[in-house]
Amino acid sequence: MSTHNQGTELDLSWISKIQVNHPAVLRRAGQIQARRPVKKEWQAAWLLKAVTFIDLTTLSGDDTSCNVQRLCYKAKYPIREDLLKALNMHDKGITTAAVCVYPARVCDAVKALKAVGCDIPVASVATGFPAGQTHLKTRLEEIRLAVEDGATEIDVVISRTLVLTGQWEGSDFIKTSTGKETVNATFPVAIVMLRAIRDFFWKTGNKVGFKPAGGIRSAKDSLAWLSLVKEELGDEWLKPELFRIGASTLLSDIERQIYHHVTGRYAAYHDLPMS
């Protein structure tokens, strides 16, 4: 996703003048986290919306074609059909936004999605994920191979060296973290990123997408992230083209919460075996 936006001359002079009011950012983050979530039908509707923003992810060293196939099936059928029927949403074509895998597993994902008749994008991490400490030639080749295998979105690991020395470039999306760090997606950092997106849009007219990733595991968390994006950037950012949530276990909790909403009881493990 983090590919250079060729359409606008990148004027970075204003970046050097930016100052962050840290106490104010922390207060704003606290407000978001302390807010009571919506209930009942409204909550179910927002949770289903959250599903459509998920980049359903597996980035494990022991990934195989089998677990990628399972991931893709879940991306196509994220919520049990009887639960969707109970909500009258079974015919809305609800899927996750994409699946996200290592470059070596892109072929498996493309094949699996085709087998279940699903046309959602295959995203791939590349460029020396997660550290990004590989030669530029290697990084570019990794992107080329992933695209050649069928990936249509690339999560590029930026060079921290360039960032720390102020050598910025543009992008289509910005992402909080790789998800492999000790600290990943946090609300204070997200607020700063979202306001930078807003400022950039006001200055250039270009919309940059946002993807929090890492540590987003609960349905309640997903509602807080949707609320934050809605309040900071508006409804026009609440679409998969401009907002994604990178997660591997979040979908399971969303399905459990929807199960509880529909049935009035919490699911046992065997009730949601694909979660």
**Distance from C-alpha of 207 to C-alpha of 217, rounded to nearest angstrom:** 27
Whether 188 contacts 29, CB under 8 Å: yes
Starting at the edge strand found earlier in the chain, the sheet holding 122-126 runs: 153-156, 122-126, 98-101, 54-57, 245-247
Catalytic residue among 85, 111, 114, 175: 175
Long-range contacts of 197-202 (CB under 8 A, 24+ apart): 197/233, 198/232, 198/233, 199/14
Catalytic residue among 211, 220, 230, 239: 211
> Is 211 tagged catalytic?
yes
> Is 175 tagged catalytic?
yes
CB-CB neighbours of 87 under 10 Å: 17
Closest CA to 212 of 7, 29, 22, 11: 29
Closest CA to 73 of 104, 124, 122, 118: 118
All residues at 6 or more sequence positions from 57 whose CB lies less than 8 Å from its CB, including other chains:
99, 100, 101, 179, 213, 246, 247, 248
Q: Which two tokens stand for residue 228?
A: 């934050």
Q: Which residues are catalytic?
A: 175, 211
